[in-house]
Chain A
Amino acid sequence: MDVRIRFYLSLKEAGLPKKEMAFKAKAGISIAELLRMMSKKYPVFGKSYLSNWLDKNEEIPLLITKNDYPVELESLIGKNDYIKIFEIVGGG
Chain B
Amino acid sequence: MFGYMGKVLRVNLSKGSISEKDLDEEIARKYVGGRGFGAKLLFDELKVGIDPLSVDNKLIFAVGPFGGTPIPGGSRCVLMAKSPLTGLLGDTDFGGYFGKAIKSAGFDVMIIEGEAEAPVYLWIHEGFVEIKDASYLWGKTTGETQKEIFREISDDKAKVVCIGPGGENLVRYACIVSELRYVGGRLGLGAVMGSKKLKAVVVRGTKRLTVAKKKELNVLVKALNHEILNDGSCDSLGEYGTWNSIAPVQLNGVIPTKNFQEASFKLIDKISAETLVETMLVDRRTCYACPLKCRRVVRAETPYKVSTEYGGLQYEAVASLGPLCLNDNPVAIAKANELCNEYSLDVISTGVCIAFAMECFEKSILTEKDIGFLLKWGDHEAMMRLIEMIVYRQGIGDVLAEGVRRAASKIQGGSEKWAMHVKGLEMAMHDPRGKKGTGLSYATSHKGADHMESMHDEAFQRENALPELGFTKPLSRKSKAGKPLLVKTTQDYWGVMADCLVSCKFLSVPPRPFSPTRIVEALSDVTGWDLSLNEFVLIGERVFNLCRAFNVREGVRRKDDILPERLGEALKEGGSAGESFTKSDLDSLLDEYYSLRGWAKDGIPTKETLHKLGLDYVATELIRHRKIVG
Contact = CB atoms under 8 A, between A and B. Distances in A.
A74 interface: no
B499 to A, nearest CB: 14
B458 A10 contact: no
A42 interface: no
Given A51-B463, A61-B461, A92 B232 contact: no
B463 A90 contact: no
Interface in A55-74: 58-59, 61, 63, 65, 68-70
B315 interface: yes
A8 B230 CA distance: 11
Most B CB contacts (10 A, CB to CB) among A11, A49, A87 go to A87
Contact of A91 (B227, B245, B461, B462): B245
Given A9-B511, A59-B476, A70-B250, A92 B244 contact: yes
A92 B461 contact: no
Contacts of A11: 231-232
B557 interface: no
A10 B463 contact: no
B248 A88 contact: yes
A79 interface: no
Given A13-B233, A87-B511, A92-B314, A52 B251 contact: no
Interface in A8-40: 8-13, 16, 19
Given A49-B462, A90-B430, A92-B315, A19 B232 contact: yes
B510 A89 contact: yes
Contacts of B231: 10-12
A19 B235 CA distance: 10
A13 B315 CA distance: 26
Interface residues of B, number: 45
Nearest to A61: B461
Nearest to B509: A89
Contacts of B541: none
A59 B249 CA distance: 14
Contact of B458 (A48, A58, A90): A90
A48 B549 CA distance: 39
Contacts of A13: 233, 464, 511
Contacts of B233: 9-10, 13, 87
A41 interface: no
Contact of A88 (B316, B458, B512): B458
Q: What secondary structure prevails in chain A residues at the interface with B?
A: mixed
Nearest to B435: A90
B463 A48 contact: yes
A45 to B, nearest CB: 10
Given A9-B232, A10-B233, A68-B274, A90 B474 contact: no
Most B CB contacts (10 A, CB to CB) among A52, A69, A88 go to A88
Contacts of B227: 12
B17 interface: no
A63 B251 CA distance: 8
B452 interface: yes
B506 interface: yes
Interface in B242-268: 242, 244-245, 247-252
Contacts of A51: 463, 474
A68 B456 CA distance: 24
A91 B251 contact: no
B458 A61 contact: yes
A88 to B, nearest CB: 4
A48 B233 CA distance: 14
Contacts of B248: 63, 86, 88, 90
A51 B315 CA distance: 30
B245 A52 contact: no
Most A CB contacts (10 A, CB to CB) among B269, B463, B509 go to B463
A82 interface: no
Given A8-B232, A8-B236, A19-B235, A59 B461 contact: yes
Contacts of B250: 70
A8 to B, nearest CB: 4
A57 to B, nearest CB: 12
A79 to B, nearest CB: 22
A90 B459 contact: yes
Contacts of B245: 90-92
Contacts of B438: 90
A51 to B, nearest CB: 6
Contact of B244 (A10, A52, A69, A86): A86
B451 interface: yes
Interface in B350-382: none
Contacts of A16: 232
Nearest to A19: B232
Contacts of B274: 68
Nearest to A69: B269
B509 A91 contact: yes
A19 to B, nearest CB: 5
Contacts of A61: 458, 461-462, 474
A91 B456 contact: yes
A7 B251 CA distance: 18
A89 B435 CA distance: 12
Contacts of B252: 59, 88
A10 B462 contact: no
Contacts of B269: 69
Interface of B: 227, 231-233, 235-236, 239, 242, 244-245, 247-252, 269, 274, 314-316, 429-430, 435, 438, 451-452, 455-459, 461-464, 474, 476-477, 505-506, 509-512
Given A11-B232, A47-B463, 12 more contacts: A8-B244, A10-B232, A19-B235, A70-B251, A87-B236, A89-B459, A89-B512, A90-B248, A90-B430, A91-B456, A91-B505, A92-B429
Q: Which 7 A-B pairs have the closest CB atoms?
A: A90-B456, A92-B245, A61-B461, A10-B233, A90-B458, A92-B315, A10-B511
18 contacts: A9-B511, A10-B232, A12-B511, A13-B233, A49-B462, A51-B474, A52-B474, A59-B461, A61-B462, A63-B247, A63-B251, A68-B274, A90-B435, A90-B458, A91-B456, A91-B459, A91-B509, A92-B429
